[in-house]
Amino acid sequence: MNNLQPSDPTSMGGYPLLGRLGAGGMGQVFLSRTASGRLLALKTIRDDLSSEPGFEERFAREIRNSDRVRSPWTVTVVDYSAPGRRPQWLATEYVPAPSLGDWVATHGPLPPPAVLSLGAELCGAVQAVHQAGLAHRDIKPGNILLARDRPRLIDFGVARAADDSRHTRVGVSVGSPGFLAPDQAVGGVAAAPADVFSLGALLVYAATGRSPFSRAGEEISAAALLYRVVHEEPDLTGVDPALVPLLGDCLAKDPAERPTADRLSERLAEVGGRIGRWPREGPAALAASLTEAEYAARTVVDLAPHSDTLPAGQQPPPEGAPGGAGHTSVLAAPDGPGRRRPPAWLPATVVAAVAVVVAMVAVVHFGTQRSAAESSPSERGRPSHSAASKTAGGTASAAAPQSQASGAAPASQAASVALKTVQATFELATGASVGTGARTLVMQQDGNLVIYDQDGKARWAAMTNGEGNSARFQPDGNLVVYDSGGHALWASRTDGHQGAVLVFQADGNVLIKSGDTVLWAAGTEN
């Protein structure tokens, strides 16, 4: 991570800027956080783009498109600038994980089982995009984050409705050379088949370390690469033989000859690529790298100035409120108890670890997932945790920091009166609930686990969906949402604490505690 430049703002929309993560085609990307310490990637939009006729409309449409994709394989939009405000900006959750491009460049190609698992997971992501009536249009190694529980497809900056060509200019290709489809390369409207082509090219890269249209170690111009994409056959040398026929079909020049994302998922399953296996079939070295990155990401929050040290008028917006922009944000919500300031003797090695996480994450993202708690007027709220969480088997999420992961709770929480204490094991089937008059934990019909207050307002949600989902507070202290097939969709990441209890406090917060230690908090206090 680079330090802020003298010309950089110190905050944006009330969110403090902690450092520079990089720059993209649309503007600068900064590391930020919410008032309670949730890490954000905040992207500012270049002034010349903001002033371009029609850009603001396209920017607003991008956010609306983001809301249409609800998937465990995307990330959450947290807040954004109000119409007419300058500079324009967009804040998403921050995933401390390397991109596929960074990982392969450092460690080499993925082993065949990991490639199969990656393909299956990304098929789920692409299916979600296409079911929303969109095409991503820029699936490439830099837009895939290798998180612990599952990969994430990010950066919907060029996503457009698949049937909307009003903003596609003839002769202009959108995407990345070597991974975009021939139909994109010649400036055509990129629809769902183009994403399948890009996914096929990406899996060749994961398996071999190169695009199917480039050779190892060669330097080639974008124009020459695009020519090969349009006119030459892909080079699948080094790809697992079981995948060659399938990837060859994905890379067909004619869009009509490529499989759909649904069919691709079926064919991957036939050769062993199934969703849910990434935590155990991903690269062996990835787990250790993510542990270091996750710890470093949490440390960034503790090292950052808190609101009482920011200039007047520059404090982070209160949780559940828009970022000073005068509008309703997508997901500006409480996400756990406030963090304590780190002691002055914090070792220098911890500070050094902060640099590790940002070095691993060169790409920041725009993909989204909106809570199903907002699916009807009676279920609207501001849930705070993404579906990217630790699975029941003990796999830590790279998508959201764990509140008070170790150590005692703040005194104000420890002293709070418990209205109800629930011990393991209990299970919430669809439609079931548990709680008090102040807060109720409900397993909704749509598959979302939600905490409601006494007024029927959603205060937190796991952001899961699916018919037949259930929630289980397990003997090991982990609260988990399972789908109908028994796969973990979300978890509180509190396994390993036999005897932990779920506590509904008088202040409205819902906690998982082991003795006096808070293992997880929903952040739903009044």
Task: Select from 147, 525, 159, 162 the least CA-distant residue to 318.
Answer: 525
CA angle (77 as vertex; 73, 78 as ends), nearest 5: 130
Distance CA 439, CA 459 (A): 9
Q: Which residue has the tokens 């249009």?
A: 137
User: What type of residue is 324?
Assistant: G
Distance CA 6, CA 309 (A): 19
Distance CA 348, CA 43 (A): 29
The CA-atom distances, in angstroms, between 380 and each of 77, 373, 507 are 16, 5, 21
Task: Enumerate residues 6+ apart whose C-beta is below 8 A from 434.
Answer: 422, 426, 428, 440, 441
Task: Enumerate residues 6+ apart whose C-beta is below 8 A from 10.
Answer: 4, 16, 17, 310, 311, 314
Task: Select from 510, 463, 514 the least CA-distant residue to 489.
Answer: 463
Distance CA 331, CA 303 (A): 25
Is the peptide bond between 151 and the residue preceding it cis, with omega within 30 degrees of 0?
no
Distance CA 196, CA 261 (A): 6
Q: State the catalytic residue, choosing from 138, 155, 195, 495.
A: 138
The answer to whether residue 138 is catalytic is yes
The CA-atom distances, in angstroms, between 457 and each of 34, 105, 373, 380, 460 are 21, 47, 9, 6, 9
Distance CA 157, CA 275 (A): 26
Distance CA 496, CA 479 (A): 12
130 burial type by CB count under 10 A (0-12 exposed, 13-18 middle, 19+ buried): buried
Is the peptide bond between 517 and the residue preceding it cis, with omega within 30 degrees of 0?
no
Task: Enumerate residues 6+ apart whose C-beta is below 8 A from 523.
Answer: 36, 319, 333, 334, 335, 336, 337, 384, 403, 460, 509
Q: Which residues pair with 421 in a beta bridge?
A: 503
Host H or E run for residue 205: helix 192-208
Distance CA 460, CA 383 (A): 4
User: What type of residue is 93?
Assistant: E
Report CA torsion sign: 343, 345, 349, 351.
Answer: positive
Catalytic residues: 138
